[in-house]
Amino acid sequence: MKISIIGAGSSYTPELFEKLATVKETLPVKEITLMDTDPKRLETVASFCCRYANYLKMDVKIEATTDLDKALYGSTFINTQIRVGGNEQRIKDEKIPLSMGILGQETTGPGGFMKALRTIPAIMNIGEAMRRNAPDSWMINYTNPTGIIAQAMHDYMPDVKCAALCSGGIQKTWDTANVLGVSPKDIQYDIFGLNHMHYVYNITVKGRPLTQEEFEKAAAQENPALQEISIKLGALLSGYMSYYYNRKGTVEYLQNSPKTRGETVMELEKEIYKDFANPEFEQKPPSLQKRGGGGYSDVAIGVMDAICNNKNTWHVINVPNKGVFKFLPDNAVIETAVIVNAHGIKPIVAEPPPKAAWGLIALAKNYEVLTAEAAVTGCYDTALLALTHHPLVGDYDVAKELLNKMLEANKGMTKIGKIT
């Protein structure tokens, strides 16, 4: 079995090796190809991963290349974790909206919108290469904004098999299991919403519903800004929901912060890559723990294992609605509970979500569909409509000014045509 990692210069790559080493009996990977457009980063990460794989006693051939077709040829699974424009563009995505009093977060706010416009064409280019070199393979996507990317792939490249993942969807299994003192495998639930914008409800432990006391214990683990509304809704919320339910306080906090998250990550990565380049490091360096955002390898390898070995495993993935929630179109990609096996990914019929959630999710989904269309077609007017209908913008004149500023800062990096 061959696995390809596209965007392998990412600091997250060693996590995949770590998890693969624990499942080598069920996922007998013999070849891993690392591909990135940045040769220096690729060389640094590949060199470290070779040392790390040796430390983990992995019997695997590791190759590194900047050639996409070569990387994909003959692969079973293709892990995509790219960042078009790097952290330099991420920082612009964060700062430009904040200068106008709007959240600039890289997946949830207009920053995520801009990232989608840059990233979707690149992901679809990978999809085209999959058609040429590995037509039966699966794209295992962790590139953000993963929900909007999934929408674009399902709308415009439905023949390319794509599992759009995020560890946030199963985070509540870990958190709830921890507070109740049980195994994460004992926790299941219905989940309604979009990536980084979901509601977890109808929670069970060992097959029985949580008591109110248990639910409130679980809610106490939430972002402090969300605990009270979580209890009133009867649902646990994605931590990113504070951007919607506490937007004024969140924007003020970010405007007063000395650095954006992108600036912080850029500084951290200088230390991480310096450690990767140190031949004395054979294990993950301590600096990597500061990066955050971990846990994705558990989900990615779990999905690959379920597909490869027909395991009928419960996961949370971004998939087309297909009638699960009647008030959304069938082709609307949602983040929901699914069963994964060799036949693919099938969403599970869910109980109705909290009524208060319906409108916000429908509005955000409308924005996501328009964003995917704009990224693929390059239509300025569609991009403007998308940003206007973003729940954190909601004003045509503001959206137009913001869009023009962000496009100016991203010249030549999207398909969007002439500003009108």
**CA proximity to 169, closest of 303, 42, 272:** 303
Q: What is the 3-state secondary structure (H, E, C) of 337-390?
A: EEEEECCEEEECCCCCCCHHHHHHHHHHHHHHHHHHHHHHHCCHHHHHHHHHCC
Q: Which helix (H) or strand (E) holds 44?
A: helix 39-55
Closest CA to 264 of 291, 287, 242: 291
CB atoms within 10 A of CB 30: 11
The catalytically annotated residue of 12, 52, 201, 240 is 240
Among this protein's residues, is 240 annotated catalytic? yes
24, 86, 11, 100: which is closest to 305 by C-alpha?
24
Task: State how far the Cα of 241 lies from the Cα of 34, in Å rounded to an integer.
Answer: 34
Contact by Cβ (8 Å): 347, 319: yes
The closest of 232, 260, 229, 222 to 246, measured between CA atoms, is 229
Which runs of consecutive H residues, i.e. helices, occur in 159-246? 171-180, 212-219, 227-233, 242-245
State how far the Cα of 91 lies from the Cα of 265, in Å rounded to an integer. Answer: 10
DSSP H helix total and E strand total for the chain: 16, 13
Instruction: Just list the catalytic residues.
Output: 240
